[in-house]
Chains A and B, each alone.
Chain A
């Protein structure tokens, strides 16, 4: 990537490099899902990734914490090469929160336990301390009265907000969102986007795969367009949506409602 393209974003972000992706490739048998991607995510950025289905955007996001193991290439997170088999991947994953399309809350645990499980077991946090943290996070999303409820008793929007604070409980340095609103009923999309907007405002580094163009326009510091396993274009949102250069992107934007 050339310095010219980056300069704009570097100003917005506070500068330090958080995730560096080097020549990332992913093959599924015949399919070349990721084709030599090189990209850097800086601290404080909100990077939104858009693209048609099958473009590799979810694969790209899931590669960042190695849920998807790349065929070749490197991921450097906070200065550490996490693709190196000698790296303690689990420890680094604790610092990369992830939110899934289908929430993936733990159905056998109460809402509070969903949030406190990882801090208690992975960080050795005391139960009372974790519960306090959990209640504070629940208050933040206005769901403190659901602490003892189970995931099956929540609406989709509530589940996704819990999934977000579950990841936040580990105090991550970056949050990865994999189509966080795609499985929601339309009237519940807003509450989840509001929370994400709030996170962005608080300075959380975020990488978001989404179809919510409005969110991208308003919240992103940088938008990436992926197609055929490559990042075909990227720019600050205003430039990206008003003045798309790649013909595939022009075509894509003409098809999606904004």
Chain B
């Protein structure tokens, strides 16, 4: 029995050594994690900026009939981005749009995932704006606020609060989605694990490790979103 345990332990520690310690292979994981987080956070911010702009244009069109042309462009953007896979968009942006430009892969990934996320965030924001009772809008206008002022001081703050949980979920989705960044040979967390696998020819440890790290991050952020939801609900009472 003891011999069996000792034998397994030797195998296990050997695997850990080979996959993570030898040649500083753990750096593939830690650097990959860093890249994943940088891409995700930056892309979410870019996505929020794009989404906010588009949602503003689209709901202004819905409410007032103005910005018809801009609204049409936004509709095309939403249709194309939501109608094609994110991997394909990433490849096109890297190999076609920036094909002849020497540009950091991280920047390319941020742009690609930001543009992709923007389409989804736009719809989140728009549903948030639409969820605000028309009476709020009328109350603002009746006091003499302009359309823009009413949006800024009355509608948007409420809409933003309503969509915060949905934005948190979008962040979680994006965190996982960035794992396809390896398609442009970007060394993110998933690619880092895969590189180790190709060096050591042992798939189990590096890939399971990567999966566990994603899982832990998603669990943490889901908890935070839930906490946020509860806090927001409390202030409504």
Q: Which residues of A contact B (CB under 8 A)?
A: 65, 67, 90-94, 96-98, 100, 102, 104-108, 117-118, 121-122, 150, 152, 163, 166-167, 170, 176
B145 A108 Cβ-Cβ under 8 A: no
Chain B residue numbers with a CB within 8 Å of A170 are 143-144
Chain A residue numbers with a CB within 8 Å of B161 are 108
B154 A106 Cβ-Cβ under 8 A: yes
A93 B142 Cβ-Cβ under 8 A: yes
User: Which of B138, B158, B237 has a CB less than 8 Å from the CB of A67?
Assistant: B138
Interface of A is mostly: mixed
A100 B143 Cβ-Cβ under 8 A: no
Chain B residue numbers with a CB within 8 Å of A150 are 235
Interface of B is mostly: helix
Asked if B236 is at the interface (CB within 8 A of a chain A CB), the reply is yes
B136 A93 Cβ-Cβ under 8 A: no
**Interface membership of chain B positions 125-160, coded 1 if the CB is closer than 8 angstroms to chain A and 0 otherwise:** 000000001011011011111100100011001100
A65 B142 Cβ-Cβ under 8 A: yes
User: Which of B138, B146, B237 has a CB less than 8 Å from the CB of A100?
Assistant: B138
Chain B residue numbers with a CB within 8 Å of A152 are 236-237
A-B contact pairs, 21 of them (CB 8 A): A67-B141, A67-B142, A90-B144, A93-B141, A94-B143, A96-B142, A98-B142, A98-B143, A100-B139, A100-B142, A104-B139, A105-B139, A106-B154, A117-B153, A118-B143, A122-B145, A152-B236, A166-B143, A167-B142, A170-B143, A170-B144
> Which residue in chain B gives the minimum CB-CB distance to A93?
B144
Q: Which residues of B contact A (CB under 8 A)?
A: 133, 135-136, 138-139, 141-146, 149, 153-154, 157-158, 161, 235-237
User: Which of A96, A106, A121, A122 has a CB less than 8 Å from the CB of B139?
Assistant: A106
> Which residue in chain B gives the minimum CB-CB distance to A99?
B142
How many Å lie between the Cα of A96 and that of B144 in the bound state? 9
> Which residue in chain B gives the minimum CB-CB distance to A106?
B154
B145 A90 Cβ-Cβ under 8 A: yes
Chain B residue numbers with a CB within 8 Å of A121 are 145, 149, 153
Chain B residue numbers with a CB within 8 Å of A94 are 143-144
Chain B residue numbers with a CB within 8 Å of A102 are 133, 135
Chain B residue numbers with a CB within 8 Å of A97 are 142-143
How many Å lie between the Cα of A90 and that of B133 in the bound state? 21
Chain A residue numbers with a CB within 8 Å of B135 are 100, 102, 104
Known: A108-B157, A117-B143, A122-B145. 11 other contacts (CB 8 A): A97-B142, A98-B139, A98-B142, A100-B142, A104-B135, A106-B154, A106-B158, A108-B158, A121-B145, A121-B153, A170-B143
How many Å lie between the Cα of A196 and that of B236 in the bound state? 29
Closest CB-CB distance, A115 to chain B, in whole Å?
10
Chain A residue numbers with a CB within 8 Å of B141 are 67, 90, 93
A91 B158 Cβ-Cβ under 8 A: no
Of B144, B146, B161, B235, the most chain A CB neighbours within 10 A belong to: B144
Closest CB-CB distance, A108 to chain B, in whole Å?
5
Chain A residue numbers with a CB within 8 Å of B158 are 106-108
Chain B residue numbers with a CB within 8 Å of A105 are 139
Chain B residue numbers with a CB within 8 Å of A104 are 133, 135-136, 138-139
> Which residue in chain A gives the minimum CB-CB distance to B135?
A104
> Which residue in chain A gives the minimum CB-CB distance to B137?
A104
The 8 closest A-B pairs by CB, nearest first: A94-B144, A104-B139, A98-B142, A104-B135, A118-B143, A93-B144, A90-B144, A90-B146
How many Å lie between the Cα of A64 and that of B161 in the bound state? 33
> Which residue in chain A gives the minimum CB-CB distance to B134?
A104
Closest CB-CB distance, A238 to chain B, in whole Å?
32
How many Å lie between the Cα of A106 and that of B111 in the bound state? 37
Chain A residue numbers with a CB within 8 Å of B237 are 152
How many Å lie between the Cα of A67 and that of B150 in the bound state? 14
How many Å lie between the Cα of A121 and that of B143 in the bound state? 11
How many Å lie between the Cα of A163 and that of B143 in the bound state? 11
